[in-house]
């Protein structure tokens, strides 16, 4: 009898263990999808996070972007929807396991709704207290539902909707039912209209990110902006003498660009640590290696937020950060403490949080250096590095952070100048169709903007003429060619691309693909020509000190 009870007891224990194991597995999967910074935070902070994410077409706990993600990507990630409904403005696919519903039209998602319990802890007055009265109040009622919808126009592209039960005398301050980020399904038509009005010269100009040598607006710079219509400018420390001069220079750039159709990308390397280009007595931020050693996702997110605030204050709108290279080679001459470490999981988690922190300040974040610069023994500024790894080896290490960042809303990927002979025996990654189109686009599913590292680095100029390199890179799949030094090299790259289209080497349809992505990026971040004001260094540094005091001994 005792033996019989013993067997029953063991069976019961096994059953409990199985239930616990699978339950834990689901919970673990759930936690991977949820931004760690939102767990256990106050309603006020969560409301602020929702608003920040909505400016990019995102909602917490859903890795999809309204106006950018195709429904095929959702199916690839989560499988077939449990239920699909047809409504007047499009189809809606329900994923109750993920507490998300997506609306789509012509395969493009225009509405992302989250029913997550964390968001459902927010009350109506929490939203109004943090963000004021909505731009519009709507109501919806049917046999089962009586709702109020608070609509906030967060930018030109997106509306944020807080959907709640309609207040009653017994419940005047209801909790959120779901949150929706919405963009008009016809945004692609607007992009097409802009594109159709652009000349070939304007289109090619948008595909160039140019560097300048001076600290003020010169005739060469004016020519790049007004005659060649370059899409953006990269600034280095030698361009930025002090806060006042930097703000003035960027404001002059915006004013000079005013007649052009699209605003400029105004970019800089502000990684933190030793790669910090902004002038003035800004507080020193820790290296990524130090952040990696602390290994706190919230710390990484707040450092990214600080970097975004700094760039906003000066008038920039794009940051070449974070570095997602896994520092697997300790003798690497170029990455070192710019990496979060040699563990791909840590690099992934902290890099994504830094990216999201930068994005939360409406700054474009560029993840770099694809497909991974951490195992090189040569500095690509000086020569062409060579990494003799197979695709499977890259997938086991270098590609992990990039894959995860892409799945979590990366907007721009910078491609490095590295020769990977097992993937492409002749062309470096920045000029390789196998790598850019075959791996980054097709295998990893990246639909955002692909940008090269600086084409004036010796990895390229020692081996290629700059115009030829620009043409080959666009043929390989790049959207933006960075020519960070030398006015004449910028012009050579533009002229070579123009000639390649005119001779049929590159089709204008191929140019249109890239320019369409660039237009969408600029619209998504609502880039504009508003002048920056004087930088409040004391306020920025106090914000930074509070972060460092919280996480560093």
State pLDDT tens for residues 68-85: 888 888 998 899 999 888
For the chain, the first-to-last Cα distance in angstroms comes to 61
Angle (CA) 287 293 298, round 5°:
80
Q: With 60 as the cut, is the pLDDT of residue 407 above it?
A: yes
The whole-model pTM stands at 0.72
Predicted pLDDT of residue 183: 86
Residue range 328-364, pLDDT digits in tens: 887 766 788 899 999 999 999 999 999 999 998 999 9
Q: In angstroms, what CA-CA distances link 250 with 396, 519, 529, 533, 539?
A: 42, 21, 10, 11, 21
Q: With 80 as the cut, is the pLDDT of residue 430 above it?
A: yes
Q: What is the mean pLDDT of residues 280-303?
A: 94
| All structural domains of the chain with their residue ranges | 37-185, 198-538
Q: Using CB atoms within 10 A of its CB, is residue 177 exposed (0-12), middle (13-18) or buried (19+)?
A: middle
Q: Kindly indicate the confidence band of residue 384, based on its pLDDT and cuts at 50, 70 and 90.
A: confident
Q: With 90 as the cut, is the pLDDT of residue 6 above it?
A: no
Q: What is the mean pLDDT of residues 479-492?
A: 96
Q: What are the phi and psi torsion angles at 162 (to 5°)?
A: -105, 115
Predicted pLDDT of residue 376: 65
Q: How far is CA 289 from the centre of its chain?
A: 21
Predicted pLDDT of residue 148: 92
Q: Kindly indicate the confidence band of residue 398, based on its pLDDT and cuts at 50, 70 and 90.
A: very high
Looking at every residue in the chain, the average pLDDT score rounds to 88
Q: With 90 as the cut, is the pLDDT of residue 268 above it?
A: yes
Predicted pLDDT of residue 379: 58
Residue range 490-522, pLDDT digits in tens: 999 999 999 999 999 999 999 999 999 999 999
- Please give the Cα distance from 336 to 321 (Å, whole number): 15
Q: With 50 as the cut, is the pLDDT of residue 275 above it?
A: yes
- Helical (H) or strand (E) element with 102: strand 100-105
Angle (CA) 296 326 546, round 5°:
30
Predicted pLDDT of residue 36: 39
Any long-range contacts for 421-428 (C-beta under 8 Å, 24+ apart)?
A: 421/386, 421/388, 422/388, 422/389, 422/390, 422/391, 423/390, 423/391, 427/472, 427/476, 428/384, 428/459, 428/460
Q: With 80 as the cut, is the pLDDT of residue 106 above it?
A: no
Q: With 80 as the cut, is the pLDDT of residue 142 above it?
A: no
Q: With 50 as the cut, is the pLDDT of residue 452 above it?
A: yes
- Residues annotated as catalytic are 381, 453
The dotted CATH code for 198-538 is 3.20.20.300
Q: What is the mean pLDDT of residues 422-430?
A: 94
Q: With 60 as the cut, is the pLDDT of residue 377 above it?
A: no
């Amino acid at each position: 009898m005792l033996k019989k009870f013993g067997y029953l007891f063991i069976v019961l224990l096994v059953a409990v263990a199985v239930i616990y194991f699978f339950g834990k597995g689901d919970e673990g999967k759930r936690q991977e999808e949820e931004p760690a910074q939102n767990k256990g935070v106050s309603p006020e902070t969560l409301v602020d996070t929702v608003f920040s994410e909505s400016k990019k077409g995102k909602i917490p706990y859903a890795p999809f972007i309204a106006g950018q993600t195709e429904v095929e990507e959702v199916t690839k990630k989560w499988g077939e929807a449990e239920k699909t409904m047809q409504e007047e403005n499009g189809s809606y696919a329900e994923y109750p396991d993920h507490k998300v519903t997506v609306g789509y039209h012509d395969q493009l998602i225009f509405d992302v709704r989250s029913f997550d319990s964390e968001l459902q802890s927010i009350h109506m007055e929490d939203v109004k207290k943090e963000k004021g009265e909505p731009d519009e109040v709507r109501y919806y009622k049917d046999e089962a539902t009586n709702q109020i919808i608070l609509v906030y126009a967060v930018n030109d592209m997106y509306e944020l909707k807080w959907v709640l039960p309609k207040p009653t005398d017994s419940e005047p301050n209801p909790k959120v039912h779901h949150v929706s980020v919405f963009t008009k399904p016809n945004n692609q038509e607007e992009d097409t209209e802009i594109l159709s009005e652009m000349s070939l010269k304007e289109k090619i100009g948008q595909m160039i990110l140019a560097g300048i040598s001076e600290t003020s607006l010169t005739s060469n710079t004016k020519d790049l902006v007004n005659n060649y219509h370059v899409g953006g400018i990269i600034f280095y420390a030698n361009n930025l003498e002090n806060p006042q001069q930097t703000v003035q220079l960027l404001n002059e750039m915006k004013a000079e660009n005013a007649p052009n159709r699209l605003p400029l990308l105004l970019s800089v390397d502000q990684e933190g640590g030793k790669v910090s280009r902004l002038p003035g007595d800004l507080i020193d931020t820790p290296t990524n290696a130090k952040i990696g050693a602390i290994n706190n996702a919230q710390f990484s997110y707040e450092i990214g937020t600080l970097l975004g605030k700094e760039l906003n204050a000066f008038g920039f709108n794009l940051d070449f950060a974070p570095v997602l290279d896994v520092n697997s080679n300790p003798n690497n001459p170029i990455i070192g403490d710019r990496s979060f470490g040699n563990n791909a999981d840590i690099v992934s988690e902290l890099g994504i949080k830094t990216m999201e922190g930068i994005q939360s300040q409406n700054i474009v974040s560029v993840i770099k250096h694809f497909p991974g610069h951490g195992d090189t023994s040569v500095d690509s500024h000086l020569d062409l590095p060579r990494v003799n790894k197979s695709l499977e080896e890259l997938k086991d290490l270098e590609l992990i952070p990039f894959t995860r960042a892409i799945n979590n809303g990366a907007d721009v990927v910078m491609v490095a100048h590295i020769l990977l002979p097992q993937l492409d025996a002749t062309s470096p990654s920045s000029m390789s169709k196998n790598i850019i189109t075959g791996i980054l686009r097709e295998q990893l599913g990246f639909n955002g903007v692909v940008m090269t590292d600086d084409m004036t680095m010796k990895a390229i100029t020692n081996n290629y003429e700059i115009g030829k390199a620009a043409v080959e890179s666009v043929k390989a799949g790049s959207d933006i060619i960075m020519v960070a030094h030398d006015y004449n090299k910028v012009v050579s790259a533009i002229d070579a691309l123009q000639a390649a289209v005119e001779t049929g080497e590159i089709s204008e349809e191929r140019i249109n693909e890239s320019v369409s992505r660039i237009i969408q990026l600029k619209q998504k971040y609502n880039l504009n020509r508003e002048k920056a004001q004087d930088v409040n260094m004391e306020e920025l540094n106090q914000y930074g000190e509070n972060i460092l005091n919280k996480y560093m001994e």
